[in-house]
Amino acid sequence: MIDHVRPAQLADWLLRHEAGHPLVLDVREPWELQTASVAAQGFELVAIPMGQLPMRLTELDPNRPTACLCHHGMRSLRVAAFLMQNGFDQVANITGGIDAWSHERDSAVPHY
């Protein structure tokens, strides 16, 4: 099952999965990362663009809790479903993406 977590709720999700060393997987394109990025706070942050994920799936641990992030939450939802289909069982979609992150967690993150 894919958890749906708003950026404001991410800290709680991370705490529930703390033993598994949670990961935030940013699936946006490199130009988007240059435009707006999040700071890793209580989690590891890995950036793999959605289009590269099938080729780079082995870089991720299917036993590790993984929360997916994109611009508004649609690409990350597709990635979360892809991860679930490939044996990942602790997956979350960060609903609202980095846009909501800017409103709910860190107003210093630019909008685009």
State pLDDT tens for residues 19-62: 889 999 999 999 999 999 998 888 999 999 999 999 999 999 99
Query: DSSP for 50-86?
Result: GGGHHHHGGGS-TTS-EEEE-SSSHHHHHHHHHHHHT
C-alpha to C-alpha distance for 82 and 70, rounded to whole angstroms: 14
Nearest to 94 by CA among 21, 45, 30: 45
* Catalytic (active site) residue 68: no
Residue 4 buriedness (CB in 10 A; 0-12 / 13-18 / 19+):
middle
Q: Does domain 2-104 have CATH number 3.40.250.10?
A: yes
Mean pLDDT of the 80-98 span: 97
User: DSSP label at 43?
Assistant: S
Percentage of the chain lying above the pLDDT 90 cut: 92
Q: Which of 10, 68, 70, 100 is catalytic?
A: 70
Residue 42 has what pLDDT?
Answer: 82
Read off the tokens for 19: 């033993």
Residue 85 buriedness (CB in 10 A; 0-12 / 13-18 / 19+):
exposed
